């Protein structure tokens, strides 16, 4: 407790005195904060482990947290982080994570008394469907003709209620293309400015991040873009359109010049999965282009012209899992695989699970996740009837998914936890997802989601895929996370690990 109070007091003083410059310029201070942060994370997650999680999972969580902090420290040493950004990071940490204020405790208590759970941690919001690209396999089926947009007053209300009801200080903005959002004379960065105690991450194609946009982001401080790439120029332009890759490199340059930390977002398909975790790829984006973080998403067969032919094979899924652990432990990069990294999030975090999120699209439709396009509620309609964000959360459809998450492992003793490498209901347990969809008569978000429901071959293919994954990956879950045996690092099939 003494160590936590000391850490909190330092951060609080930094916020009070505008300590962004101090953090950026003072290497010794950052090393102290890194050391204390690591000690606190290890004590909380591994030693105390209040929820009695499998211990190897907890160690991996500490490692990934440290990787992100160490990479942020590296970018500060390189002069690639503006003081305004550093100040915003500390402010959000203090207001949302480190110091549990009286208001925070009261809000959490009130939520738990009503719902029997602690609140979600964030929202994923797609404020507009409009996009300037027309990408193959887009999960949102976005294009330049799409006009659907969340009106600014409603978007602003959602963000205020998220803070008021959930104590949430993190928002993910996706799309469509976030930088095309326009409503009542305001754009998406006006929204960010309206909520300075919220940290925003945008999933963006990057083509609209001009020098002027990068300057605005640096001035705000509380926003970071995760820019979509599919590999190098050939792979990116093939999916996203000729010339896209060069515009992305220009965006990287603009962000570096203004000291705005950025990440990358990748989509693993059958043709590019190995490339996205190759040494050449990692070196280019993390060492040369200076990305601070990355997210790898495996193609989910929804959206524009969905097809099982793009889905990575079970063998590729295993390869990505094993390679990811090398990237985590030996390269020490923050580059989680959204599906294979279930151990880092204690399983599926959709449907408003504790520490998780809900997804709201441009029409107000609320789904468990962007990749789970089925819904029983629309937030526009809830507001019209006098309800609020908690009424959206309190849907039997979402609660059924939360109960499945509990039973699969979130509320179970360590030796009975389900395989978190396969923690996603709609991707890894499709039969479970379909049963819940059917039971609550959840409506498809769009025509593509409707077609997937009606396609018998789709159902058959997804279920067969899940059975193959289980057979292949269950032994790794048991050996690594339940028994603590790291047996596969010497395997000759894996590429040589090069220290970074």
pLDDT by position in tens, the chain (length 500): 455 555 555 555 555 555 566 677 778 888 888 888 888 889 989 999 999 999 999 999 999 999 998 999 999 999 999 988 888 887 776 666 555 567 778 889 999 999 999 999 999 999 998 887 776 766 656 555 667 899 999 999 999 999 999 999 999 999 889 999 999 999 999 999 999 989 999 999 999 999 999 999 999 999 999 999 999 999 888 888 899 999 999 999 999 999 999 999 999 999 999 999 999 999 999 999 999 999 999 999 987 678 899 999 999 999 999 999 999 999 999 999 999 999 999 999 999 999 999 999 999 999 999 999 999 999 999 999 999 999 999 999 999 999 999 999 999 998 899 999 999 999 999 999 999 999 999 999 998 999 999 999 999 999 999 999 999 999 999 999 998 876 543 343 433 433 33
188: helix, strand or coil? helix
Name the residue among 346, 370, 374 with its Cα closest to residue 359. 370
Q: Are 163 and 199 in contact (CB under 8 A)?
A: no
Q: How far apart are CA 378 and CA 220, in angstroms?
A: 31
Half-sphere exposure of 384 (CA within 13 A, CB side): 6
**Whole-angstrom distance between the N-terminal and C-terminal Cα of the chain?**
35
Q: Which residues contact 421 (CB under 8 A, 6 or more apart)?
A: 321, 340, 342, 343, 473, 476, 477
Q: Which residues contact 401 (CB under 8 A, 6 or more apart)?
A: 348, 350, 351, 368, 425, 436
Q: How far apart are CA 24 and CA 294, in angstroms?
A: 22
Q: Are strands 293-298 and 263-268 parallel, antiparallel or unpaired?
A: parallel
Name the residue among 359, 439, 375 with its Cα closest to residue 404. 439
Q: Are 299 and 312 in contact (CB under 8 A)?
A: yes
Q: Which residues contact 138 (CB under 8 A, 6 or more apart)?
A: 131, 303, 304
Cis link prior to 49 (omega < 30° from 0)?
no
Q: What is the DSSP letter of 307?
A: -
Q: How far is CA 197 from the centre of its chain?
A: 19
Q: Return the structure tokens found at 496.
A: 């040589």
Q: How far apart are CA 24 and CA 33, in angstroms?
A: 12
Name the residue among 26, 89, 69, 12 with its Cα closest to residue 260. 89
432: helix, strand or coil? helix
Q: Return the structure tokens found at 106.
A: 């009261």
Q: Are 209 and 228 in contact (CB under 8 A)?
A: no
Q: How far apart are CA 445 and CA 47, in angstroms?
A: 43
Q: How far apart are CA 92 and CA 99, in angstroms?
A: 11
Q: What share of the chain is helix, strand, coil (3-state, %, to 5)?
A: 55, 10, 35
Q: How far is CA 472 from CA 91, 123, 414, 422, in A?
A: 44, 33, 21, 11
Q: Which residues pair with 377 in a beta bridge?
A: 366
Q: Please, what's the b/e burial string for 473-500 (b: 16 or more CB within 10 A of its CB; e: otherwise)?
A: beebbeebbbeeeeebeeeeeeeeeeee
Q: How far apart are CA 434 and CA 145, in angstroms?
A: 31
27: helix, strand or coil? helix
């Amino acid at each position: 407790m003494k160590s936590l109070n000391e850490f909190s007091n330092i951060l609080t003083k930094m916020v009070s005195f505008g300590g962004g410059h101090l953090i950026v310029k003072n290497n010794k201070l950052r090393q102290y904060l890194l050391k204390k942060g690591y000690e606190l994370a290890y004590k909380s997650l591994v030693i105390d482990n209040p929820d009695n999680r499998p211990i190897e999972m907890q160690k991996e969580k500490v490692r990934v947290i440290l990787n992100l902090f160490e990479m942020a420290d590296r970018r500060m040493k390189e002069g690639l982080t503006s003081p305004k950004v550093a100040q915003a990071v500390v402010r959000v940490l203090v207001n949302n994570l480190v110091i549990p204020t009286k208001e925070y405790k009261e809000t959490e208590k009130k939520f738990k008394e009503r719902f029997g759970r602690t609140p979600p941690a964030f929202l994923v919001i797609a404020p507009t469907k409009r996009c300037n690209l027309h990408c193959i396999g887009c999960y949102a089926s976005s294009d330049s003709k799409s006009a659907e947009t969340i009106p600014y007053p409603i978007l602003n209300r959602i963000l205020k209620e998220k803070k008021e009801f959930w104590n949430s200080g993190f928002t993910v903005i996706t799309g469509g293309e976030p930088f095309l959002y326009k409503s009542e004379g305001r754009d998406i960065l006006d929204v960010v400015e309206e909520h300075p105690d919220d940290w925003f991450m945008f999933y963006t194609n990057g083509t609209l991040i001009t020098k002027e946009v990068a300057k605005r982001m640096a001035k705000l401080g509380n926003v970071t873009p995760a820019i979509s790439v599919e590999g190098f120029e050939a792979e990116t332009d093939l999916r996203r359109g000729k010339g896209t890759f060069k515009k992305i490199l220009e965006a990287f340059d603009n962000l570096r010049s203004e000291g705005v930390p950025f990440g990358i977002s990748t989509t693993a398909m059958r043709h590019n999965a190995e490339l996205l975790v190759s040494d050449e790829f990692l070196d280019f984006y993390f060492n040369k282009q200076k990305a601070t973080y990355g997210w790898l998403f495996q193609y989910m067969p929804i959206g524009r012209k969905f097809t099982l032919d793009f889905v990575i094979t079970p063998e590729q899924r295993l390869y990505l899992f094993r390679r990811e652990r090398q990237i985590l432990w030996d390269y020490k990069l923050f580059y989680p695989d959204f599906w294979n990294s279930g151990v880092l999030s204690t399983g599926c975090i959709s449907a408003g699970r504790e520490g998780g999120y809900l997804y709201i699209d441009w029409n107000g439709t609320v789904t468990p996740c962007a990749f789970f396009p089925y819904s029983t509620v629309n937030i526009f309609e809830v507001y019209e009837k006098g309800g609020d964000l908690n009424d959206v959360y309190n849907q039997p459809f979402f609660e059924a998914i939360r109960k499945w998450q509990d039973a699969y492992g979130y509320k179970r003793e360590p030796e009975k936890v389900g395989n978190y490498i396969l923690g996603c209901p709609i991707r890894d347990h499709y039969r479970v997802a379909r049963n819940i969809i059917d039971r609550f008569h959840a409506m498809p978000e769009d025509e593509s989601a409707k077609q997937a429901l009606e396609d018998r071959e789709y159902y058959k293919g997804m279920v067969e895929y899940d059975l193959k994954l289980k057979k292949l990956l269950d032994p790794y879950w048991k050996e690594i996370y339940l028994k603590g045996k790291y047996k596969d690092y010497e395997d000759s099939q894996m590429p040589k690990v090069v220290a970074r």
